[in-house]
Amino acid sequence: MEFHFILSFAIDKIADGSSSTDGRLVTTLKNQGVISFASIAPFDYDQVQMHYHALWNKYGNIIDYVNFQFHAYDSSTMVCQFLSYFEKQSSNYPGGKLLVSFSTNSGSGGLSPAKGFFSACRTLKKQGKLPGIFVWSADDSMKYGFRYERTSQLLLASSPS
């Protein structure tokens, strides 16, 4: 299996930005062929989500992925909590391709591979709810030969069991 990185345009919203401006920018970039994919990168903080919801509600049709920052949750997250968080965020971005995520940075939060991340992914895959996995960050992953990215690719390429 070959290993590929996908470069895309992601909107990492800040509280004082304009949803309309971001949406128009992404629309223009996609229409001109400058970018092929666009994603948003929300996390579970009400003031941040408010801006992402406004962007999603108006421009969700041009946003390819919701790269939800599950790694921003507490490091004590367990598989059942992670699956609950996934359902909650899926309902926040209806019709969106919600990517699950974890961090390779030591000391990060969320559900780690050591605590069941890939088990949760297998559950979502069996349910037909796993369009992709986002790993943060390549700088940290490189030291380990991108082993979790490889595991992610194998899981995504396998047939549901």
Residue 25: alpha-carbon gap to chain centroid: 21
- Spatial CA neighbour of 96 closest among 50, 129, 71: 129
pTM: 0.86
Predicted confidence band of residue 22 (pLDDT cuts 50, 70, 90): confident
Q: Does domain 9-157 have CATH number 3.40.50.140?
A: no
Predicted confidence band of residue 94 (pLDDT cuts 50, 70, 90): very high
What are the residue ranges spanned by the domains of the chain? 9-157
Instruction: Tell me the pLDDT tens digit for each residue of 102-128.
Output: 998 888 899 999 999 999 999 999 999
For residue 98, report the phi and psi dihedrals to the nearest 5 degrees. Answer: -85, 115
